[in-house]
Amino acid sequence: MKELVITTNSYDEKDIPDLGNRFLTGNGYMGVRGTLEEYGKQQLAAVNLSGIFDRYGDGWREPLNAPNPFSLQLLVNGKEETLCPDNVKSHEQLLDARRGLHLRTTEYMDGTSMIVERFAHMEQVHLLCMNVVIKTKKDAHVRLNAAIDGDVWDIHGPHYRDMSCKENGDAAMVVGCTNEGDSVAVCAAYHTDAHCERQSMTENRKQITAFQFECKAGDMIAISMTASVFTSQDAQDPLLCAQKFVLESPSYPLLRKSHIQTWASLWDKANVEIEGDAEAERALNYSIYHLLCIAPRHASSLSIPARGLSGQTYKGAIFWDTEMFMLDFYLAVLPDVAKTLLRYRIDTLDGAREKARQYGYEGAFYAWESQEGGYDACSDYNVTDVFTGRPMRTYFRDKQVHITSAVVYGLYKYARWTGDESLWLEGGAEILIEAARFYYSYLVKSLKSDVYELWDVIGPDEYHERVNNNAYTNEMARFAFLQAVEISQWLKAEHSDEFDALNQKLNFEDELILFSQAAEQLKQPTQTDTGIIEQFDGYFKLEDTAVDAVRSRLKDPREYWGGAYGVASDSQIIKQADVITMLFMLRDQYDANIVRANYDYYLPRTEHGSSLSACMYALSACMIGRPNDAYPLFLKSAQADLVSGGKQWAGLVYIGGTHPAAAGGAYMTMLWGFLGFDYSRDAWSVAPKLPKGWKEISCKIMWHGKPMKLSSKTTKG
Ligand code: BGC
């Protein structure tokens, strides 16, 4: 397996947010931003926790960042070693993605150098480990302040109303208590064989352990640290747990070894080889690295936020991104994780029922931005106007009803891919009934017509709000109706006791006929003679213009393109793949001519203002036999976190972070697109469509519980 190493020599302030994402390490329980050890909240340093949230005042509810035990300050002869060009002789930051290691090496002008290696342990997910090596060229007094920094970065905080810091001779400890009453404990133990003076102090929410050394020229000092993080969701007494865990944990070299072994076994399953294109291979495996870093392998019911574990943007919430863009990777590589992601939806069904009820609908209306329990963190004012500074009314929460069909689609993919029907019995079938009920209650019908319609929705293209009969939404709702009927029939036939129990609970059997009817009578999208599908009623009547023409109307680069007055709202310019996403997801239903017509029509009208967009076009390009056109779109998705750029703002709201949906979309393009993978109930096939220069793709996947090796040179199984 080829090495996968990402490096930079930059410590330029303007690169800090980007590098924080690019050099992220994580283990599904937490993500550690790739910021340097001397950085704090100003530089967006964060140890971002999965699945635990807090609200401060009436601000947005967001995930917690734990006190950061990777905080260091180095002083040589009383002078702080700063990261300024006139104090730095050389500097390198490195991510070893095969081993999940973050490394920085800095040599300062006075000849001192500091090398720090750190990682979030891939198996012992509560552990963070670090090894610091300091070398001196001259005799010097060296002081290293190693801290657990509780002065954390919060976007809508402060989330810790209390922070207590202490030390007990064995370990340093910081415990934060949130506004919602949760606590987060971080405990760190340090080890050095070098002779030193050691001192502890508390300062501004930091528990500092200072090490002082009298060094001779050429000395090399090593200090290792093991820290553990526990929250009140993990244990009744998180501090006690954190302490015990750290004090009982093996030494740094042993932890490093087991961490690397876990990474090696993950890579053994996940690695993709692309012979003939080293750049694409590297970008795709780098995307896979991120998907591995955020996979909740430690949990049985947890999902992945839209920005992974890279911070608090998008409120750490779960979107349709997970089921539609990330799930395929986990189905292929870590099916247990796929199950965990879907169990999260089963466990948040009550939240979805509650949301439907709040809006006056039946069944289950899943949260657009889902936190624990299915709580919808999406605000009614999700964008801030750049000109007035006022919040803008957005309708993502109330009108993006396609979210419920994404959950249905995820469950369907799981059963088809794994052959494991157990999720239907564990609550999946109940979701299907409640999803169908939701869409049924959303339908409208004119007195004079038999056609059912879905009015007042937002499709994937968020720039056009409150439209009628968005093709994607209608077709996915139809899919949800049909699934509800099909799986209910299967349940009745194969698991009659479970069917009876479910029917007793929901009393739905008579509704199945209504669901079938709805699937039949739901409005078919308007289609031109050449097969172009109208994105929603009236879309073709909007101004037909070019993306650049619309862009040139912006008065501020951060201006929001959609909503009531957005530059795109009255035009055919769309934010992201919409009809095209439908054509891929429901690909069994459309022939290549339709896909071709829509691809050619919508691509020039798409801004790709979301990182979810390019991969859908890449997939469609492959479906119509144009892998070379797919290639740059694939690369754009695979490199979303590897190269700078990407949207950082929606109006005045910061939306930066990693892009796991783009990473998942790149994987999907490799698998469904270039490799042309497909399956029926009991067989799979591969119909490769390789872009120019590619000689072979090979990867391993799990299919129906069995490991398989796929290659573009072996086309049947
Ligand atoms: C996109 C949504 C997506 C969300 C989170 C938005 O910009 O329009 O489709 O779910 O970002 O990634």
> What's the pLDDT tens digit per position in 444-467?
999 999 999 999 999 999 999 999
Local confidence band at 716 (pLDDT 50, 70, 90 cut-offs)? low
320 lines ligand 1 (CB under 6 A): yes
Regarding whether 126 and 53 lie in a shared domain, the answer is yes
Residue 5 sits at φ, ψ, to 5 deg, of -120, 130
How many structural domains does the chain have?
2
> What's the pLDDT tens digit per position in 431-441?
999 999 999 99
**pLDDT value, residue 654:** 73
Q: What is the best residue among 290, 383, 462 to mutate for testing ligand 1's pocket, by most ligand atoms within 8 Å of CB? A: 462
306 lines ligand 1 (CB under 6 A): yes
Q: How far is Cα 394 from Cα 371, in angstroms, rounded to an integer? A: 19
Residue 697's alpha-carbon distances to 644, 673, 700, in angstroms, are: 27, 11, 10
Regarding whether 500 and 405 lie in a shared domain, the answer is yes
Whether 326 maps to a domain, the answer reads: yes
Regarding whether 162 and 58 lie in a shared domain, the answer is yes
Question: Which amino acid is present at 207?
Answer: Q
Active-site hit among 81, 167, 434, 462: 462
Local confidence band at 681 (pLDDT 50, 70, 90 cut-offs)? low
Regarding whether 120 and 44 lie in a shared domain, the answer is yes
For residue 537, what are the domain limits?
273-711
Q: Is the dihedral of CA 155, 28, 32, 3 positive or negative?
A: negative
Local confidence band at 16 (pLDDT 50, 70, 90 cut-offs)? very high
Whether 251 maps to a domain, the answer reads: no
Whether 262 maps to a domain, the answer reads: no
CATH number for the domain that contains residue 688? 1.50.10.10
Regarding whether 484 and 385 lie in a shared domain, the answer is yes
Whether 717 maps to a domain, the answer reads: no
Regarding whether 650 and 585 lie in a shared domain, the answer is yes
| Domain final residue pick, 225, 245, 265 | 245
DSSP codes of every residue in 353-418: HHHHHHTT-SS----SSB-GGG-B---S--EE-TTT-PEEP--HHHH-THHHHHHHHHHHHHHHHH
Regarding whether 277 and 241 lie in a shared domain, the answer is no
Ligand 1, atom 12: nearest CA belongs to which residue? 306
CA 609 to chain centre: 17
Tell which atom from ligand 1 comes closest to the C-alpha of 575.
Answer: 8
Local confidence band at 403 (pLDDT 50, 70, 90 cut-offs)? very high
661 lines ligand 1 (CB under 6 A): yes
Task: Yes or no: say if 117 and 102 are a contact pair by the CB < 8 Å rule.
Answer: yes
Q: 717 pLDDT exceeds 60?
A: no
Q: 651 pLDDT exceeds 70?
A: no
Whether 257 maps to a domain, the answer reads: no
> What's the pLDDT tens digit per position in 540-583?
999 999 999 999 999 998 899 999 889 999 999 999 999 999 99
- For residue 158, whether the previous peptide bond is cis, meaning omega lies within 30 degrees of 0, is yes
Tell which atom from ligand 1 comes closest to the C-alpha of 650.
Answer: 7
Q: In the structure encoding, which two tokens stand for residue 540, read together?
A: 């073709």
Mean pLDDT to the nearest integer, 87-115:
98
**pLDDT value, residue 351:** 98
**pLDDT value, residue 679:** 83
607 lines ligand 1 (CB under 6 A): no
CATH number for the domain that contains residue 127? 2.70.98.40
Whether 263 maps to a domain, the answer reads: no
Regarding whether 220 and 316 lie in a shared domain, the answer is no
Whether 252 maps to a domain, the answer reads: no
Mean pLDDT to the nearest integer, 417-428:
97
Regarding whether 280 and 148 lie in a shared domain, the answer is no
Whether residue 462 lies in the annotated active site: yes
Whether 388 maps to a domain, the answer reads: yes
* Per-residue H/E/C for 608-646: CCCCCHHHHHHHHHHHCCCHHHHHHHHHHHHCCCCCCCC
Q: What is the mean pLDDT of the chain?
A: 96
**pLDDT value, residue 683:** 79
Mean pLDDT to the nearest integer, 280-293:
98
Tell which atom from ligand 1 comes closest to the C-alpha of 576.
Answer: 8
Regarding whether 290 and 171 lie in a shared domain, the answer is no
Q: How far is Cα 303 from Cα 292, in angstroms, rounded to an integer? A: 13
577 CA from centroid of ligand 1 (Å): 11
Regarding whether 294 and 217 lie in a shared domain, the answer is no
Residue 209's nearest CA partner among 197, 221, 200 is 200
Q: 235 pLDDT exceeds 70?
A: yes
319 lines ligand 1 (CB under 6 A): yes
144 CA from centroid of ligand 1 (Å): 43
Q: What is the best residue among 610, 615, 648 to mutate for testing ligand 1's pocket, by most ligand atoms within 8 Å of CB? A: 610
Regarding whether 283 and 240 lie in a shared domain, the answer is no
